[in-house]
Amino acid sequence: MLFLVAFSSLFFLIGIVVILFVEGLPVFAHVSLSQFLFGKRWYPTSSPPQFGALPLILGSLLVTGGGLLFAVPLGLFAGIFLAELCPPRGREVMKPIIELLADIPSVVYGFFGVVVIAPFVRDLLSLSTGLTAFTAALILGIMAVPSIVSVIEDTLTSVPRSYKEASFALGATHWETLRRAILPAASSGIGAAIVLGAGRIIGETMAVLMVAGGAPVIPKSFFQPVRTLTATIAVEMGEASVGSPHYHSLFSLAIVLFLFTLVLNILVENLIPGGRRRVR
């Protein structure tokens, strides 16, 4: 019985993957793979429909890369602070607060983005709209911080104490010890934290749908509206009639997204255990 329960998650995983491919692949009867991946126009409801997913793929990548630009420095410094500099009592207060950030529903982040951040960005940069890739990256970056912080903090605290002692005994300051002994020893874990953050950002749907602006065009600047893979699927699934090319194309977008996250997951798996033997 327990055996069955344990295997149910495997069953669901396989089921989802099979359905993605069964429902997604038929679109390639209407559009070639290269037209799909590199086509610049996503007009699924015009006639004839155009299924060029490149703007959406680039939108997702831009928002993810931009999000990391915010999340990585924030997460890295917060993690270093918590693990190395903060007195234990401060850590006991800070850690749950940071973890609470992860518990806020993403629609709330989106709401916050629309009401507070977007007008601010618009006025600050005098844009026509504040709903841009930049705004989305900022919000998603903040959303990814908790997971990045907690992985980095765990990695840093698991660096053997003896490395620190050896470094101090050689006359290194706290900062030199951090930079030359602790961070290099933790580099693979830090890499894993970044990839994990990327995974969270690329898969996020609700907040990005609300703040990214939703224009399915190839982004030329960080400060214009974009549309991501996730947002496209969420918005258009309701209006696509079941079995139509449009319907199948949305599943194909999901396949692309799934492949992205799969690659990121494989990266994380390979980064974590290899850490201790790596030499610089």
Partner 1 sequence: MEEIKLQIKDLNVFFGEKQVLHQISLNIPANKVTAIIGPSGCGKSTLLRSINRMNDFFEGMKVEGEIIFDGKNVYAEGVDPVIVRRRIGMVFQMPNPFPKSIFENVAYGLRIQGWRNKKAIEEQVIKSLQAAALWDEVKDRLYSSAFDLSGGQQQRLCIARAIAVEPEILLMDEPASALDPIATARVEELIRSLIEKYTIVLVTHNMQEAARSSDYTAFLLLGRLIEFGPTNQIFTKPQKKETEDYLTGRFG
Binding site for partner 1 (CB under 8 A): 160, 162-163, 165-173, 176, 180-181, 184-185, 276-280
**From the CB of 257, what's the least distance to partner 1, in Å?**
36
Task: Output the six-digit token pair for 133.
Answer: 């890739």
**From the CB of 163, what's the least distance to partner 1, in Å?**
6
Residue number, 49 or 184, with CB nearest to partner 1: 184
**From the CB of 246, what's the least distance to partner 1, in Å?**
53
Residue number, 163 or 222, with CB nearest to partner 1: 163
**From the CB of 280, what's the least distance to partner 1, in Å?**
6
In the DSSP assignment, the letter for residue 104 is S
Residue number, 92 or 165, with CB nearest to partner 1: 165
- Identify any residues that bridge with 213 across adjacent strands, giving them in sequence order: 226
Measured between alpha carbons, how far is 24 from 247 in angstroms, rounded to an integer? 8
SS3 letters for 4-41? Answer: HHHHHHHHHHHHHHHHHHHHHHHHHHCCCHHHHHHCCC
Residue number, 111 or 163, with CB nearest to partner 1: 163
CA 68 vs CA 130, 189, 214, 255: distances in Å: 20, 16, 20, 23
Residues 27 and 248 sit within 8 Å (Cβ to Cβ): yes
**From the CB of 175, what's the least distance to partner 1, in Å?**
11
Looking at this protein, which amino acid is placed at residue 42? Answer: W
SS3 letters for 208-241? Answer: HHHHCECCCCCCCCCCCCECCHHHHHHHHCCCCC
- For 200-223, letters b (16+ CB in 10 Å) and e give bbbbbbbbbbbbbbbbbbbbeebb
**From the CB of 78, what's the least distance to partner 1, in Å?**
23
**From the CB of 279, what's the least distance to partner 1, in Å?**
4
Residue number, 45 or 158, with CB nearest to partner 1: 158
Measured between alpha carbons, how far is 255 from 23 in angstroms, rounded to an integer? 10
Helix, strand or coil for residue 141? helix
Residue number, 73 or 273, with CB nearest to partner 1: 273
Residue number, 220 or 280, with CB nearest to partner 1: 280
Measured between alpha carbons, how far is 80 from 16 in angstroms, rounded to an integer? 38
